Chain A
Amino acid sequence: MSRVRSTTTSAPARPRTPARAAPAVARRDEWVPMWVVRIAVVAVFLALVEAAVRVGVLNPFFIPLPSDVLGRMVANLADAELLRMLGITLAETMTAFAIAASTGILLGFALWRSRVLGEAFEPLVAALFSSPIVLLYPIFLVIFGRNAAAIVALAAIFAVLPTILFTKQALSGVSRTLLNVGRTHNLSDWSIFRHIMLPAAAPTIFTGLRIALTYVLIVVVAMEYILQIGGLGRVVAESALLFRAVDLYASVGLIVVISAGFIWAINRVERLAQR
């Protein structure tokens, strides 16, 4: 108790106190790793649902047994048609994200470099970002046809907006002091960008990319669902319309796994970029 009080009231003790407190926190984390907690929460929830369905509290027509759903998800891994659908969704998502990320970072950089462009277009991009652009899908169907190109284009346009905004904000937020230090050491523009700006801006840029990736996956799956063309969204739509609850939940579960996988991957890339 007295130690805690002293750390909060005594300013000089501040540098030493976190060093003391950190091992205690780390020990607690090590005792129960976070991934175990996450899995345990999901497992307990699924066990409760399983019990509720088995005792008749939940109607299996609407909520199937989680054990059946998990079994179907495993079985789907050997289903060539479902894997083809998965491939379509992944290809559409990766393509749209690649377009959104590359274009968004370039445009965000341009808005940061040119004050006129930045002041002129940033509010417009922000306004578009909060608009339901996805409702324009009939126009995309007319322009691109009823195919994957329309889905990719719509998803890319939707996801490019947060990438532009976050890139511009990230670069604008780099500390001038850091830049001055670089110039004092006679670093080239490229070195300043690579060793100072990129690491400083990376966390915010990657926040934008995470949002963009999430939007891409949502738009791709939603459009596949609405249009009933393409990959997993179509599988979800058909499962729902044919009242195949196990297939429906297994497909949705697969999409959740993909989403989690994408976020994990982008976090890994972020760590690499910050080295």
Chain B
Amino acid sequence: MRKGTRPVALLAAAAALVACAPGGGGDPAAEGAMRVNIAFSNPTIFTTGLPYYVAQAKGFYDEAGIDVSATFTGGGSETVQAVVSGSADIGTETSGASAIGAFDSGAPIKIISASTTGLDLQWFAVAGSGIDDRTDLAGKTMGYSATGASSHVGVLALSALLEQEGLAPIQAEAIGGPPDNLTAAQTNQIAAGWTQPPFFLDRVASGELVLVADGSEIGDYADVAMRVNIGNVAWLEQNPEAARAFLEVQQRSWDWIFDNNEEAVQIWREAAELELTEEVLLTSFDYYDRSELRLAPLDGRDVLVDDAVEFGFADESLTDAEMEQLFDDSYLPEAS
């Protein structure tokens, strides 16, 4: 009996220690706050990392009573995986197609808001490589971040466009974020890689790289929420207030960013440890406007579902009941 009770006592003592330990890195301001674990990819990018860095730096999360910690993923389905597994409660800036594909396979997730409307991607090639515009990409290898990511959807859509024009399809390869794509392009592993403004635009200006395709010229995605915010169903049901508070802060952060460009860029540069100058980073605002980063309305739902089926992320289209189950607007801030 004594032998058997010792491990139990040790476990109880360990559990008590864990229970007494400060959570979330021991931030006193976060005590009593609702915990929210979020996952997103490529944290240096304007649309992914900036609202998180600004909310942290300006204390928006503390004011909303939430303690937010972030996990970084490779993007697309990896962000969805983090939410499905419960490692993250909310996944931000993940592609609608990957979320729909996961839902179609039975993943317990909901799309709770739009994140980026329109396809804001650009594709580059190394100058002098013989790739000067998108028709040169026919039959070539192009990089994307991860399976199911918006960069993956973009390459597949670009490939479909080339096929419609009677050209050879593109071979898509999962490479990673923009820096990985740059390395892969420079070492001839791929013909072209993806980026988001303003990254590598200085290299384009210097003639080192050429832009060969732009998201705006592919398909009709201008009014489609290509990236969305998703939540774990069980967590959403247990923490609806935390989910609402998070989305409210997300909206507040974007509003603040567009009202305070220069300060936002300073926060971004320091938090993401970027080497780009503030002047270059400020050009981001030439490429994005406030409406593209709205949480609501979430437009283009049918296009997202059609793409998910066409590009093989989902087996079949969703029924109306499934659409209603997947897209849940009830966590949006009232003003949205």
Partner of A243, one of B101, B141, B190: B101
Chain A contact-residue range equals 10 to 19
Most A Cβ at <10 Å: residue of B107, B189, B313:
B189
> Across the interface, do A61 and B189 meet the contact criterion of CB distance under 8 Å?
no
Partner of B146, one of A60, A61, A145, A241: A241
Partner of B187, one of A61, A142, A237, A244: A142
From residue 73 to 115 of chain B, which have CB atoms closer than 8 A to chain A? 76-78, 80-81, 84, 98, 101-102, 105-108
> Across the interface, do B76 and A241 meet the contact criterion of CB distance under 8 Å?
yes
> Across the interface, do B189 and A145 meet the contact criterion of CB distance under 8 Å?
yes
| In the assembled complex, B278 has its CB within 8 A of some CB on chain A | no
> Which residues from A are CB-within-8-Å of B251?
none
The smallest beta-carbon distance between B318 and chain A, in angstroms, is: 15
> Which residues from B are CB-within-8-Å of A61?
84, 105-108
Chain B contact-residue range equals 20 to 34
Contact with B along A222-246 (1 / 0, CB 8 A): 0000011100000001101111110
> Across the interface, do B105 and A244 meet the contact criterion of CB distance under 8 Å?
yes
| In the assembled complex, B147 has its CB within 8 A of some CB on chain A | yes
Chain B: CB-nearest residue to A243: B105
> Across the interface, do A237 and B105 meet the contact criterion of CB distance under 8 Å?
no
> Which residues from B are CB-within-8-Å of A245?
105
> Across the interface, do B107 and A141 meet the contact criterion of CB distance under 8 Å?
no
> Across the interface, do B189 and A142 meet the contact criterion of CB distance under 8 Å?
yes
> Across the interface, do B190 and A242 meet the contact criterion of CB distance under 8 Å?
no
> Across the interface, do B147 and A238 meet the contact criterion of CB distance under 8 Å?
yes
15 contacts between A and B (CB under 8 A): A61-B106, A61-B108, A141-B189, A146-B189, A227-B174, A229-B173, A241-B76, A241-B78, A241-B98, A241-B146, A242-B102, A242-B105, A242-B313, A243-B80, A243-B105
**Interface residue ranges, B against A (CB under 8 Å):** 76-78, 80-81, 84, 98, 101-102, 105-108, 141, 146-148, 173-174, 184, 187-190, 312-313
Q: A146-B184, A243-B101, A243-B102 are in contact. List 9 more A-B contacts (CB 8 A).
A: A141-B187, A146-B190, A229-B173, A240-B81, A241-B77, A243-B77, A243-B80, A243-B105, A244-B105
